[in-house]
Amino acid sequence: MEPIPHVSLVDGPSHGIRLGTVLRFVDIAVDALAAAREEIDALNVYPVPDGDTGTNLYLTMAAARDAVRERTGGDHDADRGTTFEAFTRGALLGARGNSGVILSEMLRAIIHRIAAASPGERNATVMVEALRMATEASYAAVGTPVEGTMLTVCRAAAEAAEQLLEDDDEVRSRDVLTVSAAAAREALARTPDQLQVLRDAGVVDAGGRGVVVILDAAETALTGRVPPEVPGPHRIPQPLLRPGGDFVEGGPAYEVMYLLDADEDRIGPLRSTLAALGDSLVVVGGAGLWNVHVHVDDVGAAVEAGIVAGRPHRIRVTHFAEQVAAQEAAARTGRAIVAVAAGPGLAALFEQAGAVVVHGGPGKRPSTGMILAAIEQTGAHEVVVLPNDPDSVRVAQVAASTAEADHDLRVAVIPTTAQVEGLAAVAVHEPGRTFDQDVLEMTATARHARQGAVTIAAKQAITMAGPCEPGDVLGAIGGDFVVVGDDLTEVAREILNRLLGGGGEMVTLVSGADDPGGELARSCSDWLEQQHPTVDVVVYDGGQERYPLLVAVE
């Protein structure tokens, strides 16, 4: 590694950034990446959906921290030059995966600029230039740079910092990091617009999310503030495989990584050779030591290229399909619920109960693929599906059988035909029971819940209660229209009376989108308190369309 110059340990606008500040940032960044690791892994669909970007970023940063601790013993007054050298070398040697190798180069550029700062330079200027150098180094390290990735997020942070300094040359380093971290968060939110594979999966870029975590850690180290959480899609994409076991779109089947002892003039030809063999090429390092990363089908040719260039060592080869299978088998534990929700309020109720929600409702019933994706998203080995709609039961059953065949899961579909039946079932869900017992109890509860609804007729029709005209109020019990009237409240009370005719201890009222402010539900609740004082009443804002009121009696 090239030597890192020594500068003053004194903090201030003209004396360099303190070593203690850098070490504090490293500790915060490692902890933050550890906390975000699973989230980032779940976002990982590019360049291959192998679900390890968060883990690789964490391991890379942790390797750098451990190298510093080994060199300094935790002493913040240790020699600055040797500490920084340990940090950059640790990141290079410990870099894992495509994202980790790029991160090691970003960190190397930043640390070198901080270490090379002269006593007369302002800290803000040093930080701005460090971010710019990190961007340039990362783009140069990648064989074919792609926008919508961690490269883009890093560049946005650097450009925002440069603009801040241009507008005000008296800004402080903490201002630089605050602005650059905010710009990175904004750039991350735009990554699905830049990369089709992210847009298709409904996620932001995993590597870019890692960059945001690291810049947030830098801001916290300098200001003590914890930046706001990054909002974004929560759907966890699943790896897509071809029947033969390789990743889709004809991508290479193997990831090859190795450290390489070689002179700098051998790196150009090595890049050319590896670029012709595969993709996701990243080569970083210097002073005779390099970290090489590439995705290929021909592992032997990739290693042979390293032998031609110098001495490859610590060679690691990963077969993506085997990696995904091992991760999936290890990750799937526990029990989960998938529920179809017909409105935002109902979705919130199911989510509060711990369910993964599939949005549905009249005219928007979910497909088999949507329910299958939700089953896979849970990460659980045992899954209970609540379709909550008669037309969605068969769809849910097909999705369940597919999940069981493809992922070796246990999936049970409880044939709930109404939203309130699903609410009743999820209320008695108990993960501590055996799977069969839990499904039996939920099924029994759903079946025992007598359910009704109130809606407005959209066309002429013949019902069990006689003919109806558009605009008539219809009352339903068990899916059949049994009351035709002209007043919502009167029809709702008639439905409640009929449901309670067979007894009942609890009534659940769910107001819909056509019941502004829940007035109909509250009116029914007040009426029940007077007419049926021994019955407990629960009122929810379901937000479902077409049905101003849903009713369940248990």
Q: What's residue 443's pLDDT?
A: 93
Under 8 Å between Cβ of 379 and 332 = yes
- Identify the three-state secondary structure at position 140: helix
DSSP string, 64-112: HHHHHHHHHTT-TTS-HHHHHHHHHHHHHHH--HHHHHHHHHHHHHHHH
Helix 19-43 × helix 206-223 angle, to 10°: 150
Omega within 30 of 0 (cis) for the link into 3:
no
How do 461-463 and 536-541 pair as beta strands?
A: unpaired
Strand, coil or helix: 476: strand
Number of folded domains that form the chain: 4
Check whether residue 293 and residue 207 sit in a common domain: no
Q: Is residue 8 part of a domain?
A: no
Identify whether residues 348 and 404 lie together within a single domain.
yes
> Is the pLDDT reported for residue 156 higher than 90?
yes
- Per-residue pLDDT tens digits for 3-48: 333 333 333 443 466 778 888 899 899 989 988 888 888 787 777 6
Residues 283 and 392 both lie in one domain: no
Burial of 159 (0-12, 13-18, 19+ CB in 10 A): middle
Name the nearest CA neighbour of 511 among 536, 479, 489.
489
Query: Within this chain, do residues 165 and 92 fall inside the same structural domain, yes or no?
Result: yes
Same domain? 352 vs 464: no
Q: Domain ends where: 208, 223, 238?
A: 223
Collect contacts of 163-166 with beta carbons under 8 A, ≥24 apart.
Answer: 164/128, 165/124, 165/125, 165/128
CATH at residue 461: 3.30.1180
Same domain? For 270 and 346 the reply is: no
Taking CA atoms, 195 is separated from 71, 189, 190, 521, in Å, by 41, 12, 9, 46
Residue 105: predicted pLDDT: 92
Q: Could you tell me if 401 and 503 lie in one domain?
A: no
pLDDT band at 270 (very low <50, low <70, confident <90, very high): very high
Entry pTM: 0.53
pLDDT score for 173: 87
Supply the pLDDT for residue 13. Answer: 40
Question: Do the domain assignments include residue 4?
Answer: no
Where a domain ends, among 415, 432, 447? 447
Q: Is residue 381 part of a domain?
A: yes
Number of Cβ within 10 Å of residue 358's Cβ equals 29
305 and 163 in one domain? no
- Is residue 335 within a helix (H) or strand (E), and if so which, with residue range? strand 335-341
d(CA 95, CA 323): 18
Q: Give the per-residue pLDDT at 476.
A: 92
Domain edge (last residue) among 326, 342, 364? 326
Task: Please count the other Cβ atoms lying within 10 Å of the Cβ belonging to residue 229.
Answer: 8
The pLDDT assigned to 16 comes to: 60
At 528, phi and psi to the nearest 5?
-65, -40
Out of 229-233, 307-311, 471-475, 525-529, least confident range: 229-233
pLDDT at 228: 67
pLDDT in tens, 94-126: 888 888 999 999 999 999 998 888 888 888 999
229 domain residue, yes or no: no
Query: Do 421 and 482 fall into the same domain?
Result: no
Both ends of the chain: CA-CA distance in Å?
73
Q: Do 85 and 186 sit in the same domain of this protein? A: yes
Q: Kindly give the residue spans of alpha helices, DSSP state H, lying in 168-266.
A: 173-194, 196-201, 206-223
CB 522 within 8 A of CB 539: yes
402 vs 426: CA distance, rounded Å: 23
Q: Which helix (H) or strand (E) holds 394?
A: helix 393-407
CA distance 484 to 493: 12
The structure tokens listed for 135 are 């961007």
Strand partners, 293: 257, 282
pLDDT at residue number 74: 60
CATH code: domain of residue 50? 1.25.40.340
The boundaries of the domain holding residue 147 are 19-223
Q: How far is CA 46 from CA 63, 248, 322, 350, 421, in A?
A: 24, 12, 17, 31, 40
Read off the tokens for 552: 């369940």
What is the chain's length?
554
Check whether residue 464 and residue 351 sit in a common domain.
no
**Three-state secondary-structure class, residue 93:** helix
Q: Which amino acid is at 471?
A: G
Nearest to 554 by CA among 479, 452, 457: 452
Average pLDDT of the chain, as a whole number: 84
For residue 528, pLDDT over 50 is answered with yes
At residue 452, the pLDDT reads 92
Report DSSP state, residue 478: T
Instruction: Specify the 3-state DSSP secondary structure of 528.
Output: helix
